Amino acid sequence: MSNQTPASADDDPRLDVAALARVADLPLTPARAAAVEAVLSVWWRDANELSRKMSAERHRALMPVTVFTPPHGAAEDSPQS
Amino acid sequence: MTNPTELTLAEAASAVRCGELSATELVAASLDRIGRHDQVLKSFISVYEEQAREVAKAADMLTRAGHSMGPLHGVPIALKDNIAMRGLRTTAGSKVLANWLPEADATVTTRLRQAGAIFIGKTNMHEFAWGGTSANPHYGAVRNPWNTERFPAGSSGGSAVAVAARFCQGAVGTDTGGSIRLPSAINGTVGLRPTYGRVSNHGIVPLAWSMDTAGPMTRTVEDCALMFGAMAGFDANDAASARRTCDDYTRHLKAGCRHLRIGIVPGYFFEHLQKPVHDAVRAALATFVDLGAQVVEVEIDNIHGNISAQLTIESAEPSTYHQRTLRERPDDYGDDVRTLLDAGELLLATHYLQAQRYRALLRAEFMDAFASVDVFVCPSLPFAATRLGETRVAIEHGVDEDMLSAIMQFTGIASLTGLPSLNVPCGFDPDGLPIGMQIIGRPFDEATLLRAGHAFQQATAFHRQAPPLA
């Protein structure tokens, strides 16, 4: 691979799962890291593809499906909401 | 008289109401059948033998006094074991919650109890509902009653098996990515994933908050409508509960499906699936046409990508819920669920949010499509029951695929969009294994799904076949 071309997960699906787990403060043995890598190598590739699709200009206005729901029965200006 | 376990929920409720059959006899027949067959099928984690008999006696006293608790009076119902029952062990299929005794009922438990249901037990499931096989490492692998060497799907595998095996007239399941519809299809039963927010999740151990639902699993669509009517409705204890009046789900059940416009997405619904599944769902569409419905081809431009979005959301949210326990008690999780929880911690926030943005895109496309169709019909999953223990599946000849991704091919649509979806049995493969289709509808329009499903069952006999238990 050229030094000038940054590698991506799509080019090289071997992920450093152990390093990622350290960042997440998630203890993983080498055996468990291998099991997780087998899953993540596919998930990351597909998630990156979806991210590229959703980054298209035509989707710029889309909001994620995450909402803040006021507690039922609380007034609009209630401090809990 | 017919063996009470053979009665549908509607028939059993009517027989109890009229005094032709006592709740005590009905419960005794259920318990007897569970005792004879569940050593092999492992559909229950807990069976409430003594309690169910006592409640049945009380129900019979009420009946004799001329009272009825409601539409489920005296009928044995099972709950998936991630649904809280006050003072009774609720494990969610896990070792982590093996000794959890909830202090209060879940809202669905309360509502079903108020409708007269008698809880016969709690059903086995995929650990914490995170998986589609119901091969539970702590309580045993649930087996398919049509062929005990085949898997029952999941995660509500125990609930579907309990209904298919005639252990009870109905069961409650939960569905995040397909966990009601998949085992319903694989075991030849009916299962409804309601509109997100229609049935309260209060008191149910969560999997993925933004997609979790609970719904009825039964033998017939009529039974499903009866049970759903008892479960649905606003609940102030659930922040995502919808403040919306419920329909009477049995009122228009027999109105048929003349002029119903059924949407299909030809480039997705009938691609990449086993031939018997393809043929059964195509034949079901022909039946609908015979009943006066119209099939309309619709393009959903962004339908591809739904499996990745679903896996991303359905892994990031559980990993958040389990974050502390995964660090404190990692060895108490089964291997497969632990791996999925580990993996979900290592996805990026941008992956998660792009997946949530994709949901908005997909929902908008389906909502636009509902201007020209009333429902969509598609397979529930692309294959029939695989052998027990398999983690890969061959959908196209000679190509093995990861089961978890493959099983979500068609269920992710309703899970991501929040739309209601009903599984209805629509055939059998050459090995005699059930095949199911989904009927997907507009938000809060479960009544139309139930009407279409009931019309289909009046014209076909797939739901009348029972698994050949020894």
Q: Which helix (H) or strand (E) holds B326?
A: helix B323-328
pLDDT at A66: 73
pLDDT band at B2 (very low <50, low <70, confident <90, very high): confident
Model confidence at A15: pLDDT above 90:
no
Q: What ipTM, to 2 d.p.?
A: 0.89
Are A39 and B339 spatial neighbours (Cβ–Cβ below 8 Å)?
Answer: yes
How does pLDDT run across B196-254, given as a tens digit for each residue?
999 999 999 999 999 999 999 999 999 999 999 999 999 999 999 999 999 999 999 99
Please name the residue of chain A whose CA is at the shortest distance from the CA of residue B358.
A54
Q: Are strands B392-396 and B399-402 parallel, antiparallel or unpaired?
A: antiparallel
pLDDT at B188: 98
Model confidence at B92: pLDDT above 90:
yes
Torsions phi, psi for B358 (to 5 deg): -60, -35
What is the overall mean pLDDT for chain B? 97
Measured between alpha carbons, how far is residue B208 from residues B212, B317, B321, B415 in Å? 6, 5, 8, 11
Kindly determine whether residue B342 and residue A43, on different chains, have CB atoms separated by under 8 Å: no
How does pLDDT run across B21-45, given as a tens digit for each residue?
999 999 999 999 999 999 999 999 9
Active site residue B155: yes
Using a CB-CB cut-off of 8 Å, the residues of chain B touching A53 are: 302, 305, 358
Q: Is B237 a domain residue?
A: yes
pLDDT at B399: 87
pLDDT at A80: 42
How does pLDDT run across B270-324, given as a tens digit for each residue?
999 999 999 999 999 999 999 999 999 999 999 999 999 999 999 999 999 999 9
pLDDT at B243: 92
In chain B, % helix, strand, coil (3-state, to 5) comes to 40, 15, 45
Say whether residue B338 is in contact with chain A using an 8 A CB cutoff.
yes
Q: Give dist(CA B86, CA B269) in Å, integer.
A: 42
Active site residue B179: yes
Axis crossing angle, helix B349-369 with helix A30-54, rounded to the nearest 10: 50
Reading the block at residue B235, the tokens are 């609940």
Structural domains counted in chain A: 1
Model confidence at B47: pLDDT above 60:
yes
Interface probe with B: pick from A43, A58, A60, A81, most Cβ of B within 10 Å:
A43
pTM, rounded to two decimals: 0.95
Number of helical (H) and strand (E) elements in chain B, helices listed first: 16, 15
| pLDDT higher at B55 or B397 | B55
pLDDT at B323: 97
Model confidence at A14: pLDDT above 70:
no
Are A73 and B381 spatial neighbours (Cβ–Cβ below 8 Å)?
Answer: no
Are B138 and B334 spatial neighbours (Cβ–Cβ below 8 Å)?
Answer: yes
Q: Give dist(CA A81, CA B282) in Å, integer.
A: 49
Q: Give dist(CA B134, CA B130) in Å, integer.
A: 9
pLDDT at B455: 98
Active site residue B156: no
How does pLDDT run across B420-446, given as a tens digit for each residue?
999 999 999 999 999 999 999 999 999
Kindly determine whether residue B345 and residue A50, on different chains, have CB atoms separated by under 8 Å: no
Axis crossing angle, helix B335-345 with helix B306-321, rounded to the nearest 10: 100
Q: Is A11 a domain residue?
A: no
How does pLDDT run across B377-396, given as a tens digit for each residue?
999 999 999 999 998 999 98
Q: Give dist(CA B462, CA B434) in Å, integer.
A: 8
- Domain of B83 in residue numbering reads as 4-464
Axis crossing angle, helix B9-18 with helix B23-41, rounded to the nearest 10: 150
Q: Is B338 a domain residue?
A: yes
Q: Is B470 a domain residue?
A: no
Determine which one of B159, B179, B200, B421 is catalytic.
B179
- Domain of A48 in residue numbering reads as 29-58
Kindly determine whether residue B343 and residue A43, on different chains, have CB atoms separated by under 8 Å: yes
Model confidence at B114: pLDDT above 90:
yes
Q: Is A38 a domain residue?
A: yes
Distance from CA of B347 to the nearest CA of A (A): 7
pLDDT more than 90, % of chain B:
97
pLDDT at A68: 63
Q: Is A78 a domain residue?
A: no
How does pLDDT run across A32-76, given as a tens digit for each residue?
999 999 999 999 999 999 999 999 999 999 999 876 666 676 665
DSSP class per residue in B275-306: HHHHHHHHHHHHHHHHTT-EEEE---TT-TTH
Using a CB-CB cut-off of 8 Å, the residues of chain B touching A21 are: 342, 345-346
Q: Give dist(CA B310, CA B220) in Å, integer.
A: 29
Q: Is A70 a domain residue?
A: no
Q: Give dist(CA B391, CA B400) in Å, integer.
A: 10
DSSP-based three-state secondary structure for B235:
coil
The number of beta carbons lying within 10 Å of the beta carbon of residue B453 is 28
Q: Is B469 a domain residue?
A: no
Using a CB-CB cut-off of 8 Å, the residues of chain B touching A72 are: 234, 236, 239, 241, 243
Query: Nearest to residue B185, comparing CAs of B429, B442, B10?
Result: B429
Q: Give dist(CA B376, CA B364) in Å, integer.
A: 15
Model confidence at A1: pLDDT above 50:
no
Say whether residue B359 is in contact with chain A using an 8 A CB cutoff.
yes
pLDDT at A9: 55
CATH of the domain at B292: 3.90.1300.10
Q: Is B302 a domain residue?
A: yes
Ramachandran class of B62: left when φ > 0, alpha when ψ lies in -120 to 50, beta otherwise: alpha
